[in-house]
Every structure is written in C-alpha cells, then in structure tokens.
Amino acid sequence: DDGERMLVFRRAIRIAAAHGQPTLSIRLRLVRHLLDTGHPAEALAELRACRGDVPAASEDDRTWWAGMLEEASQPEPDATPDR
C-alpha cells in the first residue's frame, strides 16, 4: 500500500540520519514514489528539503535529482495556467 510505503521511506530516512548516514538516496527513492503515485507537490517539497545534500552526491544522484526536480515542477495536466 502506498501509505505504508511512504511511512517506510520516512522511517528509513530518520534511522539513517540518527546514525549519521547519508539520506539522499533514500529521499530520491521517496521522491520517485511520490511522483509515480501522483503527488508532485510533495515530491517537490522533498527535493527542496534535500537540496543541500546534492552537491556532495554522486553524479548519478545529482542527475536523478535534477531530472525529478524538473518533473515535479511541471504543471499538472489539468491545471489551468495563470493569466
């Protein structure tokens, strides 16, 4: 279930942080899950929250982060543009 999966990601992030371990890769997988389940605003908030970890990340993680940032920033298909 999607709700349980999000709780598992959040718990993994807390445990890693409590033990001084990097959390970016876990957060990126959470972001992918949020995007895949139709929660782009939450995904965008998570990406912004882990922005400080990106410069020290691997090139693959930096590329993945940037791609999902772009994806999460896209207007929703049924959103009406502001005029």
Q: Note the pLDDT tens digit of each residue in 31-73.
A: 999 999 999 999 999 999 999 999 999 999 999 999 999 999 9
d(C-alpha 47, C-alpha 31), whole Å = 7
pTM: 0.86
Is residue 81's pLDDT more than 60? no
43, HSE (Cβ side, Cα atoms, 13 Å): 24
How many helices (H) and strands (E) in the chain? 4, 0
Each residue's pLDDT tens digit, 8-36: 999 999 999 999 999 999 999 999 999 99
* pLDDT for position 80: 56
Q: What token pair was written down for 11? A: 């718990």
d(C-alpha 52, C-alpha 46), whole Å = 12
Q: Give the amino acid at 38.
A: G
